[in-house]
């Protein structure tokens, strides 16, 4: 039997494939209904208001966008760092990165107050001082570059461009996540933001969540298509996930410790780390305990070596942890009141000086889930019509030196 | 078994479909949508002047409530039918400040401070958030996409997002569902040589004028008595200054 990596479309034509695609369609329909309802009535039917201006859709969107650049890492490790074991996963990595970004951008676009006005940006109304405007270009460039990257992997005639395009895509993705983190990095007005560490924090967050999504989607797809996947590649991904989670914990700890160094930030840090609110619960239980320490334990526990369920659960927990962290950053940061007058208690009938409350509406959750469904549906259609998936990722295929 | 030729033809059609859809999505907006543009007042507004306001909180009879009422009357905000209290527009609000150490209580109206280096202008992706040459910070509703990044960036919480459809708007104060708005310094009145509505209603507590003109009333008063900026530490060089805070 040949050990060559062979890529083939998935052959699933049964009720399983179309049933799952139909389920995604249902969620996409739900997202569309949510969008049109919010578009028709206005955002008053959402849980967002003039105090919490970014809500659940933004958490979904930022999660998907951040995970998109992280999902490309698997391919980059093969291309940029020359690790041959990862190379068969390159196409899947590029595909997942693209569909994640598309899913995230759709949510972001459909939550806008006037999505139709985005046309104006294409007519040249772009403010290059805005990191948002830069992000538009970074996102577009990312999709184009990853498209090229996939092409260099799929077309033998384009093989010579594989390395340079792979390098470019890797560099671009680092800049992209820097841009996403910088959205929060330079908001002088908000106590919880305005820290340059946001950019590297988002990069490491993308490493862990992107890889976690890659692991979940790849394991599920191989299971459902009945294609073999070996322990060699899974254990590589397993330990990589462990390192990325620890890296994220380190950066997040640094962010809080450096904030705590300045006494003026003690109030906002106490609000997040030791408050009687959802953010403290999500931070310690959602992110730290169940979203980081537990998956790290599952990854490194000696009794669980080669245990696929533990890897799958660890990846799912990492996704939950990243989502929790984003909730704490995005919502928690807005919930803490703006400081108009330091050393004074500020009150008004417009909610000055109060901890702002937020509870997401059904529409926002549906819109977010719709974006996730778009991403999964695009992935399913793509692996069905194009040759993204190796027929086997068994040990003897990905690593010929393995017995 | 599928015929490989069929698969290839299927794939070709699929890729063609993607191409056609992308092309249509790119071209359609330009061909189908009517362009709406505000009247061009170039040459009318000049950077020789910089409009500003000086608010003496000691002279405010109602602690700023009279300012809020006048602004609401002039622009018609705050009466949104469906929005809850947290969602209703608030262009200016009366804020009560209690000094933690001394317990001294002060009240003042807080609105867009018309910063020289406005964070909302910096972060706006389309340039809808803009500063006129004469220093008035405005939102161009025709290109505002409603992303609310300016609201995240404003240190004064001076901006509101319109959460619902609006009816019976004031002719001089166009607003729109899904866009962001804030104090316009009554630009429609200023352009006609009049003072903002809040200044008129303040019984002399607010002085309006040209900060660039050393002989203007506001400049003379600032030079003689000084005026404070809220969050001066941010270095935004606000066009709205306060006395008595």
Q: Which residues of A, range 115-134, sit inside 8 Å of B by Cβ?
A: 115-123, 125-127, 129-133
Tell me which fold the domain B51-243 belongs to: Alpha-Beta Plaits (3.30.70)
Look up the ipTM and state it: 0.92
Q: What is the DSSP string of A241-310?
A: HHHHHHHHHHHHHHHHHHHHHSGGGHHHHHHHHS-SSHHHHIIIIIIIIIIIIHHHHHHH-GGGTT-HHH
Q: Where do the domains of chain A lie, and which CATH numbers do they carry?
A: 9-398 (1.20.1630.10)
- The Cα–Cα gap between A399 and A85 comes to 6
Q: Give the chain A residue nearest B127 (alpha carbons).
A: A127
With a cut of 50, say whether residue A392 has pLDDT above it. yes
Contacts of B175 (CB under 8 A, 6+ apart): B75, B76, B77, B89, B141, B162, B166, B169, B181
Query: What percent of chain B has a predicted confidence (pLDDT) above 90?
Result: 80
**CA torsion A59→A60→A66→A68, rounded to 10°?**
180
- Given a cut of 80, whether residue A394 has pLDDT beyond it is yes
Mean pLDDT on B135-142: 97
B164/A348 CB distance under 8 A: no
pLDDT at residue B39 tops 80: no
| Range 11-70 of A in CB contact (< 8 A) with B | 41-44, 49-51, 53-54
Please provide the size of chain A in residues: 403
- Six-digit token string for A206: 């993308």
Q: How much of chain A, in percent, has pLDDT values that exceed 70?
A: 99
Instruction: Report CB contact under 8 Å: B10, A187.
Output: no
* A31 token code pair: 């997202």
- Domain extent listing, chain B: 1-33, 51-243
pLDDT at A401: 67
pLDDT band at A189 (very low <50, low <70, confident <90, very high): confident
Structure tokens at A88: 């068969």
CB contact under 8 A, B143 and A117: yes
**pTM of the predicted model as reported, rounded to 2 decimal places:** 0.91
Looking at chain B, which residue has its C-alpha nearest residue A187? B153
User: Would you call B87 and A43 a contact, using CB atoms and an 8 Å cutoff?
Assistant: yes
More confident: A233 or B30: A233
- Asked whether B137 and B121 are in contact (CB, 8 A), the reply is yes
Specify the DSSP class assigned to residue B34: P
Query: Between A117, A338, A350, which is nearest B144 by CB?
Result: A117
């Amino acid at each position: 039997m040949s050990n060559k990596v062979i890529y083939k479309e998935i052959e699933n034509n049964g009720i399983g494939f179309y049933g799952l695609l139909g389920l995604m369609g249902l969620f996409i329909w739900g997202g569309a209904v949510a969008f049109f309802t919010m578009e028709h009535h206005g955002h008053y039917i959402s849980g967002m208001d003039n105090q919490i201006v970014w809500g659940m859709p933004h958490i979904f969107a930022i999660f998907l966008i951040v995970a998109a650049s992280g999902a490309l890492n698997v391919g980059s490790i093969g291309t940029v760092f020359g690790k041959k074991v990862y190379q068969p996963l390159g196409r899947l990595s590029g595909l997942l990165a693209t569909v994640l970004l598309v899913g995230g951008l759709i949510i972001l676009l459909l939550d806008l107050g006037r999505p139709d006005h985005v046309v104006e940006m294409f007519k040249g109304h772009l403010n290059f001082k805005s990191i948002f405007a830069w992000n538009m270009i970074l996102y577009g460039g990312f999709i184009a570059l990853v498209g090229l990257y996939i092409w260099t992997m799929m077309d033998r005639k384009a093989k010579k461009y594989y390395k340079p395009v792979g390098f470019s895509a890797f560099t671009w993705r680092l800049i992209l996540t820097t841009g996403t983190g910088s959205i929060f990095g330079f908001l002088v007005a908000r106590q919880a933001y305005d820290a340059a560490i946001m950019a590297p924090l988002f990069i490491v967050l993308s490493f862990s969540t992107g890889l976690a999504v890659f692991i979940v989607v790849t394991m599920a797809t191989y299971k459902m298509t009945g294609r073999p996947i070996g322990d060699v590649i899974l254990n590589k991904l397993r330990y990589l996930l462990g390192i990325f989670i620890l890296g994220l914990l380190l950066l997040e700890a640094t962010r809080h410790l450096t904030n705590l160094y300045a006494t003026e930030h003690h109030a906002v840090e106490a609000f997040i780390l030791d408050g009687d609110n959802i953010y403290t619960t999500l931070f310690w239980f959602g992110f730290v305990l169940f979203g980081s320490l537990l998956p790290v334990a599952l990854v490194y526990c000696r009794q669980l070596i080669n245990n696929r369920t533990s890897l799958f659960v660890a990846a799912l927990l990492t996704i939950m942890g990243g989502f929790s962290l984003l909730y704490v950053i995005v919502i928690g940061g807005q919930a803490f009141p703006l400081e108009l007058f330091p050393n004074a208690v500020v009150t008004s009938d417009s909610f000055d000086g109060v901890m702002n409350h937020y509870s997401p509406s059904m529409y926002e959750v549906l819109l977010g889930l719709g974006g996730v469904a778009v991403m999964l549906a695009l992935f399913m259609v793509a692996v069905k019509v194009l040759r993204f998936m190796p027929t086997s990722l068994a040990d003897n295929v990905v690593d010929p030196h393995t017995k | 078994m599928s015929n490989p030729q069929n698969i290839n033809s299927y794939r070709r059609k699929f890729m063609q479909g993607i191409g056609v859809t992308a092309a249509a999505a790119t071209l359609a907006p330009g061909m189908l949508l009517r362009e709406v543009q505000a009247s061009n007042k170039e040459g009318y507004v000049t950077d020789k002047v910089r409009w500003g306001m000086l608010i003496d909180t000691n002279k405010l009879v109602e602690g700023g409530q009279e300012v809020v009422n006048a602004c609401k009357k002039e622009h018609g905000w705050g009466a949104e039918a469906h929005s809850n209290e947290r969602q209703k527009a608030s262009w200016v609000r009366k804020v009560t400040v209690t000094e933690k150490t001394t317990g001294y209580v002060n009240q003042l109206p807080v609105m867009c401070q018309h910063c020289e280096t406005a964070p909302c202008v910096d972060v706006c992706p389309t340039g809808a958030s803009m500063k006129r040459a004469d220093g008035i910070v405005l939102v161009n509703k025709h290109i505002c996409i409603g992303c609310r990044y300016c609201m995240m960036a404003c240190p004064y919480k001076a901006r509101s997002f319109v959460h619902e459809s609006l009816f019976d708007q004031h002719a001089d104060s166009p607003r729109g569902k899904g866009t962001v708005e804030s104090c316009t310094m009554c630009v429609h009145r200023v352009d006609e040589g009049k003072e903002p509505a809040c200044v008129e209603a303040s019984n002399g507590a607010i002085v309006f004028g040209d900060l660039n003109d050393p002989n203007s009333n506001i400049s003379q008063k600032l030079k003689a008595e000084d005026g404070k900026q809220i969050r001066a530490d941010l270095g935004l060089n606000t066009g709205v200054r306060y006395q008595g805070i």
